[in-house]
Structure formats: C-alpha cells, structure tokens
Amino acid sequence: MTFGGWIPDEVRDFSLLKRNSGALTSVSICAFTIERDGSLTDTISPVHAEFMKWANANGIIVWATIGGTRRSLPWAIQGRARERLVKELAAACAKYGLGGIDVDIEGIAGKVRDDYTLFIAKLVSALQAMTPPRQVAATVMDFPSAEDEAGGPFDYLVLGLLADEVRVMLYDYSCDAPGPIMPREYFAEELAFARSKIPKEKFVAALPWYGRDWCGGDTEDLTRLEDADPPPGVVPEWREPEGELSLSFTRDGKRHEVWLPDPRKFAWMVDEVRKAGASGIYVWHLGCASPEYFKLVRGKVRR
C-alpha cells in the first residue's frame, strides 16, 4: 500500500521523516488557507520549502492541503470565488512543484454538497490540463452508513469517480466526551461503508497517530504519552473492545481522561485496512511520528 501523512503548519523538524524517506509515498503540507473571495494564502517557510525540495528529489509526492475557516466557507467554493480558487491552486502547483491538491474542507453543511462536488470537478479539470497533470485528493469525514453520508456535503461515490484519491478520516469518534479516538467496531463499519462506495485504487484510509486529553470541558490533542504528563506511577491501560490505550488521573484537582496514540492500535488498523482493500494509508499527523510507527509502516504498510 502507499503511505503518507499530513504535516501541520507548526511542524518544523523533518529529521525523522528524512531518515525514513523510503517509507513515504507522499506528504501533504498544511500551509495553505483559502479566503472567502477564493484567494489563496500560504505560510510556506524556508524550512518547509527546503523539505518540499528534498521530498521531490527523493521521489516523495508533495501535496498541498487546503482548508478553510468559518470566515471563508462555503463562499470560497461557490460562484466566482470558486473559479478564482481553482486558478490560484493551479498556479500554486506550478510555483511549488506540487504533485497535487488535497482538499480538506471541513465544517461545511450538507446543503453545499453540489458546490463542493462542482469545486472538485473544476479542480480536477484544471489540474489535469497542467503539464504534467496534477492530482486531486478529497479528504472527507467518516460515515458508517449511506443514511449518514446522504445528509453531508461529501458524496463518496461521486468523489470516488472524480478525484484521484479519496482520503477518509477514520478518527475523531470521541470529541465532546472522553472516549476512544476510533474503536474497533465503528472503524469496521466505516471501513466497510467507504469501500462499498469508493474504488479500491482510489481509497486511502486516514488513520490517527494522535491522542486526546479530556479535562473538564477542555480537550487537547497529544503527540505522545509524555504530553499528558501523568503523575508518577500512572500507567496507560490497553482497552478492549476499543483496541486503544488510555489512562486517567487527577492533577491540580482536575480529572484528566486520556486516550493515547499507540503503535499497537496503528497495527490492528493497518491489518483491517489491508483486509478491506485500500490503495493506501494516510496519517494525521506526521508530527507525531516515532521510530516505532515507521517500523510498522515498513513492515505492514509498505511490504
């Protein structure tokens, strides 16, 4: 299977990725934001630019991931703004030597389904006309069933026809209340539904390399156990049937419940994805990478 991951804007240390270049098929740089009028802004730093150059030189496809905010969406994918955005994205591909654009537009309502579909169609057309042609990935929310998908902005089947890749984000099962990032049962349902709509050669399962700490009404995403800073003696516990590592503790009078990123979880997810049939795996995010994760990527994903 192919393997790649997103690189959030704040990640600046690429040394581990460079040491594991053979495991990576592509990377997606999250340093592009779309504005309400369809213009594109980027925060590509010299460090990013150097990494992108290195990736291209090492045969790793560099994608630009674009997202938006409540200020810019859905307007940026409608009408004239959409036409402008498509043009600016094609220009960005040429400017930065990008292999494609990954559309990771979240938080839009089901009523803009047609706008989103048209935006993907126009982007596909514009990028395919480039020399060399560039690719389009659609990164979409996870759904366990057709009923859930029908009310949302993402039409899996149509995106599976239009886009070169459809990355289904199989995480964030628990948001408001503490719980697993993605339990086994729900994962299996979502995987099966995605595969029923998206052709195998275009389906990319996006998996979590992050964890989350719930404390009162607040949440904080974690890269590793140390980020939770548990008191001495508090150790994580493997939880079934969720198939995930978690721990809880009280610090400064506040109760923390933490569900952790963990290679063991990644391993069973990769096994399930391979069984379901997918062209590749993507991870959110590569800033959480560890040597243990890469060992699994080499042994289970890229074998």
Partner 1 sequence: MRRTALLAAAAIVSTALAGCGRPMYFGGWVSEWHPDVSLLKDNPRLFDSVSFSWCHIQADGSLKRVAPADRDELVKWAKKHGIKVYVTIGSGVPGITGKAGTRAVKELVAVCEQYGFDGVDVDIEMLGKPARDTYTLFITRLAEALKTMKTPRRLSVTLQEVQNEKDEANLCSDYAVAGRLADEVRIMCYDISWDEPGPIMSREAFARDLAFAKSRIPADKLVMAVPWYGRDWNITDKTHEDILWRMTDARDGIMGMDEIVGKFGGKPVWREPEGELSYTYTVGGKLHEVWMADPRQFEWMVDEVRKAGVRGVYIWQLEYASPEFIPVVRRKVKR
Residues that bind partner 1 (CB under 8 A): 114, 117-118, 121-122, 124-125, 128-129, 155, 157-158, 161-162
Q: What angle do CA 173, 156, 264 make, to 5 degrees?
A: 35
Q: Which is nearer to partner 1, 30 or 136 (CB)?
A: 136
Tokens of 44: 């590509």
CB of 59 to partner 1, least distance (A): 24
Which of residues 49 and 146 has its CB atom nearest to partner 1 in the complex? Answer: 146
Closest approach, Cβ 117 to partner 1, in A, equals 6
Region for residue 107 given its phi and psi (left: phi exceeds 0; alpha: psi -120 to 50; beta: otherwise): left
SS3 for 129-195, per residue? CCCCCCEEEEEECCCCCHHHHHCCCCCHHHHHHHCCEEEEECCCCCCCCCCCCCCHHHHHHHHHHHH
The span from the CA of 138 to the CA of 140, in Å, is 6
**Furthest C-alpha separation in the chain:** 60
Smallest distance from the beta carbon of 168 to partner 1, in angstroms? 18
156 or 282: whose CB is closer to partner 1?
A: 156
Tell the smallest beta-carbon distance from residue 190 to partner 1 (Å): 19
Q: Tell me the closest approach of the beta carbon of residue 89 to partner 1, in angstroms.
A: 15
Q: Quick one: 48 or 167, whose CB is closer to partner 1?
A: 167
- CB-nearer residue toward partner 1: 22 or 199: 199
